[in-house]
Amino acid sequence: MEWLLNIIHYVVPFLILLGVLVFVHEFGHFIIARWAGVSVSAFSIGFGKELWSKTDKKGTVWKISAIPLGGYCQFLGDADESSSTSEVDLSKYSEEEQRHLFATQSPYKKLAIAVAGPLFNYLFAFITFFGLFYFVGSYDIPPVVSDVIKDSPAQSAGIIKNDKILEINGKKINDWSDINKEISIAIDTVSLKIERNGQYLTIDVPLVEMEYAFDETEKPIKRRMIGIKGETKQFKVVKDNFQLIPSIKKAAEEVYNITDMTLRGVGQMIMGERSGEDVGGIIRIAEMSGDISKTRGALDFLYFMALLSINLGLINLFPIPVLDGGHVVIYLLEIVSRREINTKLRDGLFKIGLGFILFLMVFATWNDIRHLLTRWFD
């Protein structure tokens, strides 16, 4: 019976999470393509064998496929479902069809279609955050230490209950979520500016990997932390937060802060300041979504979904061939140069990009497996 509960807590939330985010991303490409006059041959959630399909009035095949690890929006004239960059044989299409091929569009329209996917991920995150703040309330927790974990670096450094954290590594702290963000991207040590009984202190605390669980229902796992706790981990209903403009502002700030945190973390990995072990993939996402659905509430799950939506949108904007960002760079070059990039050169770049993405996927999966083994058997 336990295996059935694990499916409910881990597999089902993961499929819902990934399905929603993939749909949002691909729908961005789809809706802007339709607006630009490009015919969409297929819209799929998942890859591989078709499990369900329906064709709409404009000829788009909407389908759900067997491998739920992504999806695609295939345009008329694409060589395959991955939107291959191979040159299109126009002789296969009528004059009317040629007007609706992706390949025959101006670079401006191609650019808009490429950018739309990541932008819709950002839009989804913004709307989700706004909905949480406006209709539910705030999840703000004052940056005041409610407890210090025994034998932790924070206790050794002299941090005590009721210390108010003002800054971490020079970054201003407004609420407890800022503490989590700054500690998550710190390297080895964090410098805390603290207010205690009207006095201001600066304390350096090393980051240490410790076993920790939010509550007795969660299995302890290793996390890098300094060993302090805030008031609560879940959303709180605060009726005076039900205001339109403040909720819009707070949602925009949340989107910005998560983007900033992600870029800083990636930059640290590129510079060699952060270990590649932090790179996670599909398995890690499934694990985290399952943990949240199992031990927390729907609001935390929605927040996690919005956070991942931002990461999906941002990563797709990286200027790597095959990703949307790689397409964006090519279309910008074509706009500036007023000529199409050589097809062989473009295809070669995309093959290199595909190889790099496959390498990252294998590397991330290896990290995920090691993480799971450590969690299960350590």
Q: What is the pLDDT along the chain (378 residues), one digit of tens a residue?
A: 566 666 677 788 889 999 999 999 999 999 999 999 999 999 999 998 999 999 999 999 999 999 988 899 999 877 655 555 456 777 788 888 889 999 889 999 999 999 999 999 999 999 999 998 888 876 667 888 888 888 888 888 889 988 999 999 888 888 887 888 888 788 788 898 999 998 999 999 898 877 666 555 555 566 778 888 877 544 455 555 568 888 899 899 999 989 988 888 888 777 776 666 667 777 777 777 777 777 777 888 898 999 999 999 999 999 998 899 999 999 999 999 988 888 888 888 888 888 888 888 888 888 778 777 776 665
Q: Are 244 and 134 in contact (CB under 8 A)?
A: yes
pLDDT of residue 213: 61
**Active-site annotation holder among 2, 26, 50, 340:** 26
- Quick check: 327 and 317 in contact, CB under 8 A? no
10-16: long-range contacts, CB 8 A cutoff, minimum separation 24 = 10/286, 10/287, 10/289, 10/290, 10/293, 10/294, 11/286, 11/290, 12/293, 13/289, 13/290, 13/292, 13/293, 13/301, 14/285, 14/286, 14/289, 14/290, 15/68
d(CA 133, CA 243): 9
The residue type at 367: N
What is the distance between the alpha carbons of residues 206 and 229, in angstroms, rounded to a whole number?
16
Q: How far apart are CA 101 and CA 185, in angstroms?
A: 44
138 DSSP 8-state letter: B
Nearest CA to 208 out of 195, 194, 224, 197 is that of 224
Other C-beta atoms lying within 10 Å of the C-beta of residue 312: 21
Give yes or no: 254 in active site.
Answer: no
pLDDT of residue 215: 53
